[in-house]
Chain A
Amino acid sequence: MMDQFAGLYNYWIFIVLMMIGFYIVMAQHNLIKKVVGLNIFQVSVFIFYISMSKVEDGSAPIIAEGITVYSNPLPHVLILTAIVVGVATTALALALVVRIRDSYGSIEEDEIEAEERRREKHF
């Protein structure tokens, strides 16, 4: 039973972070906070990938004298890609928020929706 919690603590962290992030994305009405939530959500996945490739007592994956056990480098590489994607997503999202604020004068979802309903009834 203890193993389930302590032995797999990295996964618990992943799950908790993921849920926090996901909750923020769903529940927050502030566009910036949503983006932050999305970031936490993504980062939790990075942690998940990175921690799963760690091998007990393994060293960095460098081929050198005397090192036989080393962590799996592949997920790390994958996550490099995923981080790039994540940065791009965040940048784009923030850029969109800036534009939204320019044209609506607000970054609160409910205010924007009210504005949309008022001005553009025909859609």
Chain B
Amino acid sequence: MSAETLIYACLSVPLVGAAFIVLAGSYPNLREAVTLCTAGFLFLCVAHLVPTVASGFRPSITLLEMLPGLSIAFTIEPLGMIFACVASFLWIVTSIYAIGYMRGHHEVNQTKFYFFFAISIAAAIGVAFAGNMLTLFIFYEVLTLCTFPLVTHHGTDETKKAGRIYLGILIGTSIGFQLFAIVWTYVLTGTLDFTEGGILAGKADGPIITILLLLFMFGVGKAALMPFHRWLPAAMVAPTPVSALLHAVAVVKAGVFTVIKVIVYLFGLETLNGSDGSLYLAIIAGATLLISAVIAFRKDNLKARLAYSTISQLSYIVLGAAMATGAGIVGASMHIVMHATAKITLFFCAGAILVASHKTEISQLDGIGRRMPITMGCFLIGCLGIIGIPPAGGALSKWYLMMGTAESDHLIFMFVWMGSSLLSAGYLLPIVLRAFYSGSKTKASVQSKGGGTGIQEAPALCLIGICTASVLTIGAFFIADDLAGFLSPIAGM
């Protein structure tokens, strides 16, 4: 199969899968088999494209011309390739996990859940492969709209409120700022194609670059820069697999992915270096990074703490990109992978704890590690990934991010990296400590209350998902070098 055909395949497989999921709706086993097959097949298609892209070829297709001179087009370059790989592979893992979770937790409307899940993945692939900013924007919006039914899955008043925040912020910022910036860019340059070196180079002067950059960055609400981060904690009302894949991987990564794309291909590193914009962006990202880490300390709800940790980690990526240096871009792109694997592990564990024990607050977790050793062991690995301690992959992306900062003019941000590591260790490790070392009393009470049916490990399918994710977290450490090599062309290294 040629690379072009594969692009079509990647885009259509999840959609076809979604159609079959609906058709198989009344047979749960068949439906979930379809989901798994679709996910597997999608990953095969995506993986097939990797060698082509690695050899320096950039396959490209134009779907149709939407407006004269502006088409819906797809071009694959290393960054998008990596994002697509992450999203499609983690879809398989999440599907396995989701089957266990949804059944174990007796969720309703499961067909709707799997259907919109597949559509969301299609949108994420669309974002990853987009060949110009218009296409990216379109899929970005589709992603927002088709994750909305997942966020409001339970249909209660609480989810309705969360859904309002979710849509309000994401649609509001994207139409209010991002679309405005896109049209402005188009009026300035006459094109929206992603071009190496940036299309805005030489087309606009300093202040306009700064304004445009800020419009783009706040416009990408999915990157959760403060003060437009509220949607992410709100989205945690969704079932855990949704939080895991969408709000740790597909949706938020689509946001930071857009940030890197815009910086690399619309502005260009040189243009950005020449303006004050990058400094302002770095300050905003740095502030978000530290503030949200501090907020995470104060959250007792496990998913909420993870959500604020996600906001903080997303700002790593934005901050890295804002340095506008080669190593910074590579580090930022690499951190997409590292954070995705680590954070999905953590969310899976949180979901497993919920299924097995119906506990959502950290203060209730005393001694749970002795009951669920596998889950909490994997949780520890996830924590290492987030903090950035070897042998988890997070260590290496952080290394590149710090190198990027060292190369830039803004050395002061080195302190941000240092501080952030300490903060993340501070809000994550106590959970592990609490789970393994404290609260023998609680354990006794659980036993006495629950009789013989005390807390046990999560369903087997959940465990498979968790273990796979944690293996990936460590495995990413060993492929980091290849990743850097794969990414170096976009960073001009």
| A touching B, CB within 8 angstroms | no
Chain B interface (Cβ within 8 Å of chain A)? none
Chain A interface (Cβ within 8 Å of chain B)? none
